Amino acid sequence: MVETIKEAKYTNEHEWVRVEGELAVIGITAYAAEQLGDITYVELPAIGAELEQMGELGVIESVKAAADFYSPLKGVVAEANEALADDPGIINRDCYGQGWLVKLKDYESQGLDNLMDAAAYEVFVGGL
C-alpha cells in the first residue's frame, strides 16, 4: 500500500499539498518518488511566480525519467526548497517532510475541494 499523510490533499498527478497557516506546502507523493527512482535534479520555479491550479510548477529528473510537476492550488510561489539543489535525494528519503518542493502564499483555498484526501488517493493509486 502507498504511503500517504492524513493532513494533506492529493492530485491525480501525484502532488500533495498541506496548509501551514499562511502557506501551502507542496511536494510529490511517495508513489511518485518510487516510480521515478533516484531523483537527480529538480528545477524549481522563481520566487514570486504566479501559478494557476494544475499549472506547471517545475521539473524533476531521475535516473529513469524526467517529469513535470504541477501546482495543486492557484497561488504565488513564496519559497522553493533550496536544499534540493545539493541533494535532490531528500525527496526519495522524506517526500512528505524535508523533501517538500515549494511553498505558496496567497493561495486559493477553495481549490482544495477539487483534490483527493489521503483515502481517495490511496484508492486512486491502487487502481493504477
Partner 1 sequence: MDFMPHTDQDRRAMLAEIGLGSLAELFESIPPGLRARSWDLAPGLSEPEVSRRLQELAGLNARGLTCFLGAGFYDHFIPAAVDALLSRGEFYTAYTPYQAETSQGTLQSIYEYQTAICRLTGLEAANASLYDGGTALFEAAMMAVRRTRRRKLLVGASVNPIYRAMLRTYTANLDLEVVEAEVLDRGSLDGLIDDKTAGLILQNPDFFGRVHDLGPCFAKAAEHKALAIMSCYPLALGLFKSPGEMGADIALGEGQSLGLPLSFGGPYLGFMAVKKDLIRAMPGRVVGRTVDGQGRVGYCLTLQTREQHIRREKATSNICTNQALCALAALIYLSLLGETGLKEVAELNLAKAAYARQRLAALPGLRLVDEGPWFNEFRVELPQEAEPIVARLLEKGLAAGLPLGRYYPGQERNLLVAVTEKRTRAEIDRLAEALEALS
Binding region for partner 1 (CB under 8 A) = 41, 43, 46, 59, 61, 65-66, 68
Q: Which is nearer to partner 1, 3 or 68 (CB)?
A: 68
Helix (H) or strand (E) holding 34: helix 30-36
Strands of 66-70's sheet in order across: 39-43, 56-62, 66-70
* Closest to partner 1 by CB, 88 or 111: 88
CB of residue 96 vs partner 1: minimum separation in angstroms?
Answer: 26
Give, in order, the Cα–Cα distances in Å from 86 to each of 2, 34, 81, 90. 27, 20, 11, 10
Would you list the DSSP string of 110-122? GGGGGSB-HHHHH
CB of 112 to partner 1, least distance (A): 29
Taking the complex as a whole, the smallest distance from the CB of residue 39 to partner 1 amounts, in Å, to 14
**In the complex, least distance from residue 46 CB atom to partner 1, rounded to whole angstroms:** 6
Nearer to partner 1, 8 or 36 (CB): 36
* CB nearer to partner 1: pick between 66 and 83: 66
Looking up cell 517529469 gives: 67
